[in-house]
Amino acid sequence: MPSSLWLIAPHDDHAFNKSLKDLIGTTLPSNFPHAPKNTFIPHVTVTSEIDPANTYEKSSSPQEWLDGLTLPEFQKEKNEVVIELEQLEAGEPFFKKVTLRAKKDANLVKFASKCREQGLLLSENEAQKWAENEYLPHLSLFYGDIPKDEVQKKIGLIELQLGFEFGSLFDCCGGTLAMGAKLVLVDTSKEIKDWTPIAQRDCPWVIWTMSKGLL
């Protein structure tokens, strides 16, 4: 069954992570009280569809496999992966019912391509084409079986809720919400409530930012 690689914020007690957890766990579900509540770790998917039998189950552990991935040589404060959250969207798919779409930063595309190549055992060219043409980086805030038009009616309210959660953090840090991230391996074949990392790797060269237009 498939697994996924995610980028998550580096510290549970960071203000950015706390705000995301509040939005996912409490604020947005309260906007749709008739829908089943789905709580999950705030994340940006790097790649999905990883077959454990062809990848980490061949290693001594999931952690060994994750540590063995060859990643581009990014550097903090020199050559960083920027996750810039730039647009709030309502979507049709269950897992994209409310998302913060992220800009396709060149380094993020390069990073996703290398993870896809090794996670799905693709050629470099195949992975690069996927990253450039199909990869749509985003941070989901709500999962649910709700019509898109019903969600769209609440987008104005959700924008206000985002401003409440992120406004002071945005103002004090010039748009930078957090520094650093963890690349985590998650068995996404399980139920949503059981989506927890089975391996993790520090990525100090990731920056989380937000476009001013969101607030």
User: Please, what is the average pLDDT of the chain?
Assistant: 94
Question: Confidence band (pLDDT; 50, 70, 90) for 38?
Answer: very high
- pLDDT at position 99, please? 97
Please say whether the beta carbons of 51 and 11 come within 8 A: no
Residue 182 clears pLDDT 90, i.e. is over it: yes
Per-residue pLDDT, averaged over 39-52, amounts to 97
Give the DSSP per-residue string, 122-140. --HHHHHHHHHHT---EEE
Query: How large is the greatest C-alpha to C-alpha distance in the chain, in angstroms?
Result: 49
Question: Catalytic site residues?
Answer: 43, 138
Please say whether the beta carbons of 109 and 132 come within 8 A: yes
Please say whether the beta carbons of 7 and 182 come within 8 A: yes
Task: Give the residue extent of every domain in the chain.
Answer: 3-214
CATH architecture of 3-214: Alpha-Beta Complex (3.90)
- pLDDT at position 88, please? 96
pLDDT digits (tens, 9 = 90+) for 68-114: 999 999 999 899 999 999 999 999 999 999 999 999 999 999 999 99
- pLDDT at position 139, please? 98
- pLDDT at position 59, please? 94
Q: What is the share, in percent, of the chain residues with pLDDT greater than 70?
A: 98
